[in-house]
Structure formats: C-alpha cells, structure tokens
Amino acid sequence: MGVVIRRTLAKHENMLAFKGEHATHCLKAIFGGVMSVFEEWGVRSVINASGAVTRLGGAPMPEPVLDAFCAAARESVCLDELQAAASRVIAAVTGAEAGLVTAGCSAALMLGAAAILAGDDPARMERLPQCDGFPHEFIIAREQRNPYDHAVRASGAKFVEVGFHEPVAGSGVRRVEAWEYEAAITPQTAGLFYVYDATARPRLEEIVDVAHRHGLPVLVDAAGEVYPRSNLKTLLESGADLVTFSGGKGIRGPQATGLLCGRRDLIASAAVQMLDMDDHPELWEPPTDFIDRTRMKGMPRQGIGRHLKVSKEQIIALLMALKLFSSGAYDRQRAEMTTWLQQIAATLEGLPVQCRLQVPGDGESLPILYVDVLEATAGISAMEVCRRLRRGEPAIQVGHGLLYEGKLVINPLNLNEARSAILARRLREELART
Ligand SMILES: *Cc1c(COP(=O)(O)O)cnc(C)c1O
C-alpha cells in the first residue's frame, strides 16, 4: 500500500487531481497524517459519509474526548464512585434524578428493563431473565417494534403489542392510540415501552399519563434523538421514568457508550445489576446518593447486566463529550460542514443528479446533502453508485436510507475537507461514466 506519509493535505482543488496510488497516499494523510492504523493491520479504512452509524464505528471523538479517555486509562478508580459522579453530571444535563453510563443505548434498554422488573429486590435480580411469578410484560405499539427490542426482551421481559401498522400496510390512516395501551394493561404488566422520535404517535405525554394512572413506569428508547439538544431534558420532563440515549451518535462519545437517565431508585437497580459486585457485604459502601443499599434486602451479586460493563475510560470520555455536546460546542462546525457539502454539490454540476442541501434552521442539527440520481439519464441507479463507492479505492460509504427512492444521503459528521473532496471526485467518476 506504499509508504507512510507524514504530511497533511491542503486544498480541495489539489485533492480533485489525485488518483490511484496518489489517492492512497492522500488517504494516509487524511487519516491523521500517518498510515491508517487499520491498514497497518490489513484492513481498509473507510471514508464515512453516513454519519454516526455503528456499522462504521460511530461518530468521530473530539480531541478533548480522546484526551480524557487516555488520561482515565492511566489511573484506577472505584467504578461505583465514578458512576455516582457521572450520575450527578447526567442529572445536571438532563434534569433526571439520576443517570448511568452504559455500554451503548442497547445496553441501557436492557438495564432499564431489568431495573423495572427487579426493582430493589436482589432475589429477583438473581433470577432474571426468569420472571415467573412477577409482572414482566411491556406494552409496545406494533408499529414501534424494531430489531433493537432484543435489548428489552433480553432482560426477560415479554412484549404485548397494541395497534397496527396501517399507513405502512397501505390499509388505512390511523396510528396506534393511547386507549389501546390502556386496554392492554393487566396484572402481568410491568411497564410501557416507547420508541421516541418527533413523529411518534401518540405523543409521549399521553403514554406517560396512561402508565402513571395505573402506577406503571415508561421506558423510552431515544437512542439517536439528541437533536434538538433540548430532547435531553424534554423527554424526561414529559414524566417518562427512564430514557435511554446513545453516547456514540450525536453526542460523539465513545461508540460503545450510552446513557440511562431517570428515577433514582431505578437507576440504582440498573447500576447494581451492571457493576462488578464481587465484594464483602461488610465492606460494600456505594455512594448513598447513587445506590441506597438500605432499600435492598441484601447485597446483590453479579447481575444480568454484568456483561454490559463500561470502562473508566469510556465513562470519563462520555462525560467530556456530553459536556461539549450540551454546551453547544459542536454548533460552530456546521458552517464548515455546509461548505464541504456545497463543494460536493458544485462538483456534481452538469451531471444527471439533483442535489438538495438541507441546512436545518435549529442552529444545531447537521446539514445534509441529498443527491437524487436521475437513473433514466444517468444509466446507473443510486444503489449501484452506492455499491461502487463502497468497493472503490478508497472505500466510501454514503447514507443508504433513501436508496429505494434513488437518493444518496451525504452526512458530513465524519468528513473533513480532504475526505469530502475525494467523495466528490468519486461521485463524479461514477456518474460521468455514461
Ligand atoms: C442506534 C439505536 C439503538 C442502539 O444504540 P447503541 O448506542 O448503538 O447501542 C437503539 N435504538 C435505536 C432506535 C437506535 O437508533
């Protein structure tokens, strides 16, 4: 693959000229001024224009986050004390009573469900995922079922579905309604589960109202829904008992981190089911504002979430990322990102595509470039362009969410000027073939 290049590459115009071997050399510069660490191990590195997708390793961690990660790796700490401190930070940022740093949003979902199932009872904690003899059903809208609900079911919980999927089935216009959740509540119901996005129906407040009238908690999956930033607060303000977010998406913390936020008693239950509990009951002294052991009949042992452990480095790095994110430190980059996308659109002028640059007016969300491939004129489908970019050199991945509509989605989160110039050149090459 050639030699290690120790220079950074400058300008857009220069980049457009690079081809073949040259492009490989450029790539090394682009991935940090040295040969890509992945290529040293024989793995292709990828230009990621898809955003914070897990498949490609998530979001880029800002320098202060990386520094925090390395600094934390050099010392030891009591994990329960560190999580207690994290809880206070998460509480301050989200308005929740307490919070826990988890191994991703999926992990937060499983721990949240486990906390609702077991509460303060160490005997139940020990039995999970066996739940015979106590309420363990979560009510969920059929239209909200998705592959991440493995996480909730892994706790031992069972789903009870309500509503239909009418608009997608093409059979009607109605969405699931609050009364349907209420009608499904039985003595076996442990809680209501809700997957949040701005278009989800019924609104979260209505679900919370139904649940609380029956003394039941609501667990919310809001993994990537961190824009607008106020979501970090408003979802909890709606009264939801537990809300989960990914740490490695918009927040730009370590890819394998997440947040569980909400009621103090439930967070304590989740924490003891995740933390390493190999200690003497006589010596166990968790911070009392985080884990109130007087509520528990005994000291829990290793719990169902023990395989979801989070490292001290991940916790510290996520706290730093959360601080940057919640203070609006990322907003400044939007202007520069918009310029990259404008340059890509300009490079595609005259080709059989329609570009639409969307710059959200909230001042927070990322700009996105939609490239509509006019297949009849271009003689190539968006799917095929996407495939060729992936197989090409360097490998490039664009957003694939609208391929069936003939659109490529360019998300600038993991781009920089040099990478976006290469992306523009490769798009031009593939679209100008005919
Ligand atoms: C990404 C995502 C998850 C999983 O989040 P991780 O942090 O990757 O574990 C769960 N639910 C939804 C809806 C998601 O989009």
pTM: 0.92
- Give residue 312's pLDDT: 98
- Give residue 35's pLDDT: 76
- Residue 212 to residue 203: CA distance in whole angstroms: 15
- Give residue 30's pLDDT: 56
Phi-psi domain of 321 (left: phi exceeds 0; alpha: psi -120 through 50; beta: other): alpha
- Residue 215 to residue 91: CA distance in whole angstroms: 23
- Give residue 433's pLDDT: 76
Per-residue pLDDT of the chain (434 residues; tens, 9 = 90+): 333 333 333 333 343 343 444 455 555 555 555 579 999 999 999 999 999 999 999 999 999 999 999 999 999 999 999 999 999 999 999 999 999 999 999 999 999 999 999 999 999 999 999 999 999 999 999 999 999 999 999 999 999 999 999 999 999 999 999 999 999 999 999 999 999 999 999 999 999 999 999 999 999 999 999 999 999 999 999 999 999 999 999 999 999 999 999 999 999 999 999 999 999 999 999 999 999 999 999 999 999 999 999 999 999 999 999 999 999 999 999 999 999 999 999 999 999 999 999 999 999 999 999 999 999 999 999 999 999 999 999 999 999 999 999 999 999 999 999 999 999 999 999 999 76
- Give residue 153's pLDDT: 98
Burial class (CB in 10 A: 0-12, 13-18, 19+), 214: exposed
147 CA distance to ligand 1 centroid (A)?
10
- Give residue 31's pLDDT: 53
Instruction: Compute how many other C-beta atoms are within 10 angstroms of the C-beta atom of residue 97.
Output: 18
Q: Ligand 1: does its nearest atom lie under 6 Å from the Cβ of 106?
A: yes
Candidate of 140, 221, 261 to mutate for ligand 1, largest count of ligand atoms within 8 Å of Cβ? 221
- Give residue 14's pLDDT: 41
**Using an 8 Å Cβ cutoff, are 245 and 258 in contact?**
yes
- Give residue 134's pLDDT: 98
- Residue 214 to residue 212: CA distance in whole angstroms: 5
What 3 state SS string does the chain have?
Answer: CCCCCCCCCCCHHHHHHCCHHHHHHHHHHHCCCCCCHHHHCCCCCEEEECCCCHHHCCCCCCHHHHHHHHHHHCCCCCHHHHHHHHHHHHHHHHCCCEEEEECCHHHHHHHHHHHHHHCCCHHHHHHCCCCCCCCCEEEEEHHHCCHHHHHHHCCCCEEEEECCCHHHHCCCCCCCCHHHHHHHCCCCEEEEEEECCCCCCCCHHHHHHHHHHCCCCEEEECCCCCCCCCHHHHHHHCCCCEEEEECCCCCCCCCCCEEEEECHHHHHHHHHHHCCCCCCCCCCCCCCCCCCHHHCCCCCCCCCCHHHCCCHHHHHHHHHHHHHHHCCCCCCHHHHHHHHHHHHHHHCCCCCEEEEEECCCCCCCCCEEEEEECHHHHCCCHHHHHHHHHHCCCEEEEECCCHHHCEEEECCCCCCHHHHHHHHHHHHHHHCCC
**Using an 8 Å Cβ cutoff, are 254 and 69 in contact?**
yes
Candidate of 101, 105, 219 to mutate for ligand 1, largest count of ligand atoms within 8 Å of Cβ? 105
Q: Ligand 1: does its nearest atom lie under 6 Å from the Cβ of 104?
A: yes
Q: Ligand 1: does its nearest atom lie under 6 Å from the Cβ of 105?
A: yes
